[in-house]
Amino acid sequence: DFFGELALLDDKPRAASVVAKTDVKVARLGRDGFKRLLGPVEDIMRRAEYSAKPSPS
Whether 17 is covered by a domain: the verdict is: yes
Cα distances from 37 to residues 7, 16, 29, in angstroms, run 16, 22, 10
* Dihedral over Cα of 30, 33, 37, 42: its sign: positive
Query: What is the residue range of 26's domain?
Result: 5-52
44 domain-assigned: yes
Within a domain: 57: no
pTM: 0.52
Give the DSSP letter of residue 54. Answer: P
Instruction: Report yes or no on 22 lying in a domain.
Output: yes
Instruction: Using pLDDT thresholds of 50, 70 and 90, give the confidence band for residue 57.
Output: low
Over residues 17-39, the mean pLDDT reads 89
37 domain-assigned: yes
Domains in the chain: how many in total? 1
Task: Tell whether 12 is covered by a domain.
Answer: yes
